[in-house]
Amino acid sequence: MELLSSLPLFVARCCQALHVAGFQAYPVGGCVRDLLLSRTPQDWDVCTSALPSQVQALFPHTVPTGLAYGTVTVVLEGGTVEVTTFRQEDRYGDGRRPDAVSFVSSLEADLSRRDFTINAMAMAPDGQLLDPFGGRGDLQRRSVRCVGKPELRFREDRLRMFRAIRFAAQLDFQLEGQLLQALMELGAQPHTLPPERIRPEVEKTLCAPAPHWAGLLFSSGLLSAFLPNRLEVETAILSTLLPTPLARWAGLAALLRQEGADPLPLLQGLIPDRALIVPLTKALALEVPTDARGWRHLLSRHGVTTCQALAAMSPGSQPLQALENVLAQAPCISPKQLALSGQDLMALGLSGIEIGRVQKTLLEHVLDHPEDNTPEKLVRQITSRRK
Ligand code: ATP
Ligand code: MG
């Protein structure tokens, strides 16, 4: 079967080694979904009847990634595989092998604990698709549907609501009716999900090909811990921004502001990464320059990243285009980029703090007149100012 031929050799070998040792092993979850969609899987998951210690004993190179959850990373030539013992209560703790019937039920029990039908498929050794919940049909319908009753599954784990939206955004799928209904009903309920679990899902939603799904995060109240109310945010514009965290968070911040909501608690609550949150918060306090000269001054004062965030926050494509045009000219925005170096200035007879002062003046001049950043013109500047 073609599903089998699309499985990388190292994953097939990993499963085979487990089979030879007498265990069940199935590629499962996201990787099976992505193979069926002809997408490149992010990671390779295998579920198995082997216990973590048995997996560790079988492969020379393993990493105990999540022993508490039964996950061992197997490192092979060609890639790594996350091998997880069947998730089910009646596991054989002593390593005894259950009979064939309970193998099948173990796999089904494992699949039934997964979030969505499209994520609850496994691949048999002969390449046959094991799909007890109709995941393939939902892939064809382009629909995210819960395994079991959405309300129950969402009450068990609220993160699944974020994940549903994330998959709709990444795959450009719809949310199945009952799932959507449960999400709208349960979204705004108070919860204790830690931000570090929410953040990746929100960021993946924002950076996805169909980022307008982020609107549902606000209309459902899922992010109401950071915002006063449920909010209708018109998010269609996000897809016009670069699919980077910086640009998409910036775009979202601007949309929230348009709706009269303060984006800061959300940004600060969800983004721990200083390289991201600092430029975003700085940009929120800045005005968009009206011309190239203004952009150069802003670049010099605040750096490229903050300016990129500011441009992404500004309505229309003009600011982004303007900033791009300025950056394409590789303008001089710091003393280091002046056509005269500190040493050149020393050779011209300057010394000590004078050098820094002259550099500052030259930089101000070059920011206004970028065409003047040549050694001759800068020397002329210095001599004319000395007179
Ligand atoms: P990605 O392409 O982002 O890796 P994925 O579907 O592989 O997507 P993971 O977060 O890597 O998602 O999880 C692997 C699998 O584990 C999922 O496909 C799903 O079957 C299951 N899973 C993950 N999180 C949950 C959850 N909160 N509830 C139930 N099952 C989950
Ligand atoms: Mg995955």
- Summarised one tens digit per residue, pLDDT across range 149-190 is 999 999 999 999 999 999 999 999 999 999 999 999 999 998
- What pLDDT, on the 0 to 100 scale, is given for residue 202? 97
The finding on whether 73 has its CB within 6 A of some atom of ligand 1 is no
| Mean pLDDT estimate for the chain | 92
- Summarised one tens digit per residue, pLDDT across range 242-261 is 999 999 999 999 999 999 99
From atom 26 of ligand 1, which residue's Cα is the shortest distance away? 115
The finding on whether 156 has its CB within 6 A of some atom of ligand 1 is no
- What pLDDT, on the 0 to 100 scale, is given for residue 229? 81
Residue 350, pLDDT above cutoff 90: no
Ligand nearest to the CA of 170: 1
- What pLDDT, on the 0 to 100 scale, is given for residue 170? 97
- What pLDDT, on the 0 to 100 scale, is given for residue 105? 67
pLDDT category, 104, cuts 50, 70, 90? low
pTM above 0.85, yes or no: yes
pLDDT mean over 356-361:
93
Rounded distance from Cα 274 to ligand 2 centre (Å): 26
- Summarised one tens digit per residue, pLDDT across range 2-21 is 788 899 999 999 999 999 99
pLDDT mean over 101-127:
87
From atom 10 of ligand 1, which residue's Cα is the shortest distance away? 30
- What pLDDT, on the 0 to 100 scale, is given for residue 103? 52
Cβ atoms of 88 and 110 closer than 8 Å: yes
Cβ atoms of 48 and 92 closer than 8 Å: no
The pair of structure tokens assigned to 254 is 């601007």
Give CA–CA dist 225/204, Å, rounded: 19
Q: Which of 119, 139, 147, 166, when mutated, tests ligand 1's pocket best, judged by the most ligand atoms within 8 Å of its CB?
A: 119
- Summarised one tens digit per residue, pLDDT across range 134-146 is 999 999 999 999 9
- Summarised one tens digit per residue, pLDDT across range 78-102 is 999 999 999 764 444 444 444 444 4
- What pLDDT, on the 0 to 100 scale, is given for residue 383? 86
pLDDT mean over 206-234:
93
